[in-house]
Amino acid sequence: MITIFYKTNGKVMVSQSETFFANLRRENVLWIDLLAPSGDEKHATEAFLDTEIQSRAQAEEIESSSRFSETDKAVFANTNFLLPGPEEYYMEAVSFTLVGQTLTTLREVPLRSFTELQRRIEAMPKQYANGFAVFASILEQRVDLDADMIELMSKEIAQYSKRVNQQEDINEDFLLDINQLQENTMLVRENIVDKQRLVSNFLRSNKYPAALEGRFNVLLQDITSLINHTDFSFERLEYLQDTVVGLINLEQNKIMKIFTLVSLLLMPPTLVASFYGMNVELPLAGIKLAWVIIVGIMIISFAVVLYVFKKRRML
């Protein structure tokens, strides 16, 4: 799907047909948003811009040197947008192309930051003079969403910490949940660092309007604070994980201690019972109530061992 935002008579209008390019001049086009575009839509956009749009493989390129590049007439930027799933997060690559004053975005899935910005552009067109302003707004929206995710994760960490303090359901599954939260935290941090690298590279370019430099610097400061926040959250999770592991080990040690003590307490009575279970002539064999005496010996041996353990504070 293609969505074209273009300026006419001080207003921003929208078209969703690539054939409409024939009625437009490039300097009047503010933003071209390509959402899982067809081949015709992408080729029409490239012809209109006279520039090749990066493919999805290029947008997903891991090398930092390939995340941002520029030529005499175009700026190419790639970054990942983090999307929350049922249990874990995943990243979706987004490609930005700036030709003149026109921004082109290429993505494969709907993104909340794009949808909200499209509504704002139609409602307040004067705030978006060119594609660079749209690009800055997309990044600002994305960083705000990342901040919301980090806040939600902090609340979740606090809930886990509360459960640990109350020793509620502290088991292996609880530990796996903490591990999954650690993975999500690392993904969020990786995503934010990716934005930091992109904005830093963009600030070194000389193609963006000087009026936007302040916005990009503030954006960079916000990103830095989010990175510090994720580092703190990860440290909390590591501490929480160590605490849970320690509690699980203590619980297991208590269980092993109980089994060991029970075995030691029953060892003397078992020895007596085994001795008198032998098919040979033994003391007390001729006495009618010998079994009472033998049981008494077993109880006394049990009591002696129990007394010794309690005296040495092993129980």
Task: Find the mean pLDDT for residues 9-27.
Answer: 82
- Residue 285, pLDDT above cutoff 70: no
* 73-77, 226-230, 258-262, 296-300: range with lowest mean pLDDT: 258-262
pLDDT band of 268, cuts 50, 70, 90: confident
Domain ranges of the chain: 2-249, 250-311
- Residue 235, pLDDT above cutoff 80: yes
Task: Find the mean pLDDT for residues 71-79.
Answer: 84
pLDDT band of 61, cuts 50, 70, 90: low
Tell me, which fold does domain 2-249 have in CATH?
Beta Polymerase; domain 2 (3.30.460)
Per-residue confidence (pLDDT) for residue 286, from 0 to 100 = 65
Q: What is the pTM of this model?
A: 0.73
Percent of the chain, pLDDT > 70?
89
Task: Find the mean pLDDT for residues 23-33.
Answer: 85
Per-residue confidence (pLDDT) for residue 57, from 0 to 100 = 63
**3-state SS, one letter per residue, for the chain:** CEEEEEEECCEEEEECCHHHHHHCCHHHEEEEEEECCCHHHHHHHHHHHCCCCCCHHHHCCCCHHHCEEECCCEEEEEEEEEEECCCCEEEEEEEEEEECCEEEEEECCCCHHHHHHHHHHHHCHHHCCCHHHHHHHHHHHHHHHHHHHHHHHHHHHHHHHHHHHCCCCCCHHHHHHHHHHHHHHHHHHHHHHHHHHHHHHHHCCCCCCHHHHHHHHHHHHHHHHHHHHHHHHHHHHHHHHHHHHHHHHHHHHHHHHHHHHHHHHHHHHHHHHHHHCCCCCCCCCCCCCHHHHHHHHHHHHHHHHHHHHHHCCCC
* 121-125, 178-182, 274-278, 293-297: range with lowest mean pLDDT: 274-278
pLDDT band of 55, cuts 50, 70, 90: low
- Residue 189, pLDDT above cutoff 80: yes
- Residue 213, pLDDT above cutoff 70: yes
pLDDT band of 305, cuts 50, 70, 90: confident
Q: Does 1.10.1060 match the CATH number of domain 250-311?
A: no
- Residue 113, pLDDT above cutoff 70: yes
